[in-house]
């Protein structure tokens, strides 16, 4: 007989190992500092909002040059939110007509979730 101890024997001596929770993804509820340090989440309102980036994807503005090929497609199925290769978030629901990067439009067309509009 040997005196080999199982690998999980040491965990019983110290109790459960504390595991730190993963940080919430950007935009998730509670991701903007809804913990005890409310000073960072509630900045003083000066009456001017320079934009926190929440609605930046909904503006179809050409505020930066289009460096990727884009396609206009009509969404045929509810897809939900996707992150485009242009690092913008798109909320795609059935019957939406959107201008997407080709790299994002192509898989949607292949899955019959969108159709090209010329």
Percent of the chain whose predicted confidence (pLDDT) is above 90: 42
Residue 12 to residues 2, 8, 18, 20, 27, Cα–Cα distance (Å): 21, 7, 13, 19, 38
Residue 114's pLDDT band (boundaries 50, 70, 90)? very high
Q: Which of the four pLDDT bands, split at 50, 70 and 90, describes residue 20?
A: confident
* Position 94 in a domain: yes
* 112 in any annotated domain: yes
Residue 75 included in any domain: yes
Full-model pTM:
0.43
**Range from 11-15, 53-57, 90-94 that averages highest in pLDDT:** 90-94
- CATH number of the domain encompassing residue 105: 3.40.5.50
Q: Is the pLDDT of residue 37 over 60?
A: no
Residue 58 lies in a domain: no
pLDDT tens digits, 44-76: 555 545 444 444 444 454 544 445 799 999 999
* 104 located within any domain: yes
Mean pLDDT of all residues belonging to the chain: 72
Residue 56 maps to a domain: no
Q: Say if 42 falls within a structural domain.
A: no
Residue 82 domain boundaries:
69-118
Number of domains in the chain: 1
Q: 117 in a domain, yes or no?
A: yes
Cβ atoms of 98 and 72 closer than 8 Å: yes
């Amino acid at each position: 007989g040997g005196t080999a101890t199982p690998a999980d024997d040491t965990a019983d001596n110290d109790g459960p190992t504390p595991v730190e929770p993963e940080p919430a993804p950007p935009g998730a509820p509670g991701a903007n500092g809804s913990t005890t340090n409310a000073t960072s989440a509630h900045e003083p309102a000066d009456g001017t909002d320079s934009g926190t980036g929440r609605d930046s994807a909904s503006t179809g503005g050409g505020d930066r040059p289009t460096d990727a090929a884009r396609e206009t497609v009509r969404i045929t199925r509810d897809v939900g939110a996707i992150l485009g290769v242009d690092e913008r978030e798109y909320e795609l629901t059935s019957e939406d007509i959107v201008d997407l990067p080709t790299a994002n439009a192509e898989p949607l067309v292949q899955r019959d979730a969108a159709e090209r509009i010329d």
